[in-house]
A and B are shown apart, each in its own frame.
Chain A
Amino acid sequence: MLEKVEKLSAQQVTTSTLIKKAKKRKEILTIVGFIAPALIVYGVYVVYSIFMTFYYSMFDWSGIDKNLVFLGLDNYIKLFQDDIFWKSLGNNSLLVITSLLTQIPLGLIMALLLFSPIRGMRFFRSIYFMPFLMSTVAIGILFIFIYDGNFGLLNGLLGAIGLESLQQAWIGNEQTAIWAVIATVCWQFAPFYMILFRAAIVGIPEELYEAADIDGAKKWQRFKNITLPLLMPIIITSSILSIIGSLKYFDLIYVMTGGGPNNSTELMATYMYRQTFTNFNMGYGSTISFSMFMIALGVTVVILLGDKRRRGEE
């Protein structure tokens, strides 16, 4: 197109390219103007700390003196041979999978329920959100007592419905401890996905449903053919948030079990914390941190690429 114009008149060409250039320059200025403020704040704190984490990960450093000994990648080799790290990576994977399979469906169900014709929805809506609103300290302390083997509420409930055989000390037992804490984490975060989905469902134009109603679509079909496909992008986004959140999860484990008993609930982040602040291995702790970062980055890139292909196929 442009070339044809070019042949027409040299005069015009220069003006049009000039205009184009000016436009282009303006657009870039716009982009910079919009992004730069966030990028600067983000760069100063976040990008800088990521750099520093990588930097520290190459040293033998206690974190409390100025005596850094350069090791190159030795810490990473050590990490590969570290059983506890692999154990914690396994636990993190469990948490990732369980979170995906419970938080997102549960969040979706709760969000859909909020749109159903139930009385007192405002009340339900507030209560459903409670877990996410409670402080981790409160949740941690309460669930320690809920899972307690002697006075625990859970055992009490099991006893009340005749399931005494299932009663046990949920977080004292190495086999059940990880599930007990994972359940708590999922419980805490499901409401976040609820509000995320709710906000997305609000954005679905009503006409689509009206059209479907004319076609006499059943509720399930409405959900399957309209709601779910339109929610797919937000589901992908939620999955990424959930996966990354699970990969670097720390808080409740630290409060509830501290990674025990016998490392059975150790996560990468709690192990990193222990190495950094209990064992005074800032260098090795940073190695764990940066590895967690790389794992999360890898998983995210794979999901984004997969999503791109999916959209390409559509």
Chain B
Amino acid sequence: MKKKLMFLLVLVSLLFVVACNSTSSGSDSEKDNTDSGQETGSSSENNSGESKGDSGADKTLTLWHIETGPSEEAINQAVERFEEKNPGVTVEVSQIENDPYKSKLSVAMGGGNPPDVFHSWGGGWLKQFVDAGQVREIGNDIDTSIYNEAALSVATFDDKVYGAPVSMDVVPVFYNKDIFAKYDLEEPETYDELLTIVETLESNRIIPFTLANQSKWTGSFYMMYLAERFGGPELFNEAFGRTGRGFDDEAYVKAAEKIQELVKMNAFPDGVNGMNYDTGQSRQLLYAEKAGMQVMGGWLLNNVRDEMPEFEDKLGFFLFPAVDGGEGKKNHVVGGVSPVFSVTKSSENPDLAAELVKELASVETAEYMSNKAGSISAVNGVEYEDPYIQKMSDVLANSEAMQTYYDQTLPPELAQVHLDTTQALFGLSMTPEEAVKKVEEKAKELLDK
């Protein structure tokens, strides 16, 4: 009789084995071809409970995005316009928080039931899904000529366009005008002048740069700027494309040394690696006038408007200065694109989904986002109402080169090493040589194939 129990157990466990085999059948036959792999993906989708308009006029598209506040409003308006133009089609919109979004999308892609249209930042993260055969090429469905070239390039791989950009940001050095006036400081033209400012502020017990580097991407700005200023705009492209200098190039070592020099000059707050950007720990120091500057993306202004509106009057910005003898220039900026919208390959209504992307990445959406949410438009022909955004946009227009954020451009695993080593540099727990070597080793492993 006990055998029966045992039998039951074995039976139950067998059932699971069978179940798991059937779900991963595509893998067992070792289909390398991503296209055929995709078919198994969409077939399991048919079994799922979600109703994605099978036939007839009533069709449903799903859209996942992470925009909040006015940007979310811009998305919703675009969706309304789309629904008006396409009667009988409804769009199910899901807004998801930034970090959890990444896990949710991964699981949905892996589980074979992704949304029709999804958000990304372009770059290495999007490329993971492109390489996985999950993203549809939309170069022929959208009018690529209306987009800013640099912005479109983050969603272009092997000359094929996989997404449409909406907005962009650039990263200047923000500073407190009152503090600069008080100590008779001026916007610096050279890196040495910047160092003098750091010394002046430090000696007056003001933290020169506020930084919340638990978030890691915040400290990465310094690495990107300094490396560009030493090695010039082609440095990263060569290292990433494996066509010349590597991630262990002299310029990277120098940049890392400069970071540690700043750390030793007390240019950053205590415990910088434990502070979180999202919760506002670095901005607290700025608002309390305990810190003078912050290297941050243009969205800092949105944070200020939400959290401490009267501070906006004191907020000025300048571009990260050039280094003597370096190849980079002051008007070479670091920046990035967000959001980029793409269509998944398993979408049952790819044409409609592409239409939706067009509407999401239209002049109307970009204009609304720029004027209400303070980002630069990635779509040409937008008129800015906000003088601040106009100024930012001019910076971008006048720049000779734009470096997209490493952590969004590189493949995620390499990006992680870049972020980790940079954080370790700030914590003085890694030497410049060790740090650049680690990045280069990972780059060799992942890129030299």
Contact = CB atoms under 8 A, between A and B. Distances in A.
A51 to B, nearest CB: 5
Interface stretch (B185-193, B243-251, B350-358, B416-424): B416-424
Contact of A172 (B16, B27, B37, B270): B270
A151 B30 CA distance: 56
Contacts of A63: 106-107, 109-110
Contacts of B107: 63
B144 interface: no
A280 B412 contact: yes
Contacts of A68: 24, 27-28, 30
B16 A43 contact: yes
Contacts of A269: none
B421 to A, nearest CB: 9
Contacts of B284: 150-151
Contacts of B17: 51
Interface string B11-48: 01100110110001011101110100110110000000
B37 to A, nearest CB: 4
A112 to B, nearest CB: 36
- Counting contact residues on chain A (CB < 8 A from B), the size range is 35 or more
Given A47-B16, A64-B110, A168 B271 contact: yes
A188 interface: no
Nearest to B424: A262
Given A48-B20, A62-B128, A149-B270, A43 B12 contact: yes
A69 B32 CA distance: 9
B274 A47 contact: no
Contacts, number: 167
Interface stretch (A114-122, A271-279, A291-299): A271-279
Interface string B93-120: 0000000001100110110000000000
A179 interface: no
Contacts of A243: none
A263 interface: yes
Interface string B203-227: 0000000000110100000000000
B270 A169 contact: yes
Given A28-B1, A261-B214, A172 B12 contact: no
A173 interface: yes
Interface centre among B13, B19, B41, B274, by most chain A C-beta atoms within 10 angstroms, is B274
B434 to A, nearest CB: 11
A67 B420 contact: no
B102 A65 contact: no
Interface in A136-151: 141, 144-145, 147-151
A62 B270 CA distance: 38
Interface centre among A52, A66, A147, by most chain B C-beta atoms within 10 angstroms, is A66
A280 B413 contact: yes
A263 B413 CA distance: 15
B132 A274 contact: no
Given A149-B269, A278-B416, A173 B12 contact: no
A187 interface: no
A36 B40 CA distance: 34
Contacts of B24: 55, 66, 68
A172 B423 CA distance: 11
Contacts of A40: 12
A172 B272 contact: yes
A282 interface: yes
A148 B281 contact: yes
Contacts of B37: 65-67
B271 A172 contact: yes
Nearest to A141: B279
Nearest to A42: B12
A173 B40 CA distance: 48
Given A66-B27, A277-B103, 17 more contacts: A28-B2, A31-B5, A47-B12, A47-B16, A48-B20, A62-B128, A62-B132, A64-B128, A66-B37, A66-B40, A68-B30, A69-B30, A169-B270, A172-B270, A274-B416, A276-B106, A279-B413
User: Which 7 residue pairs spanning A and B have beta carbons closest together?
Assistant: A169-B271, A172-B271, A172-B274, A261-B273, A68-B27, A65-B132, A171-B274
11 contacts: A47-B12, A55-B24, A59-B27, A63-B107, A64-B128, A65-B34, A65-B109, A258-B214, A261-B214, A280-B106, A282-B110
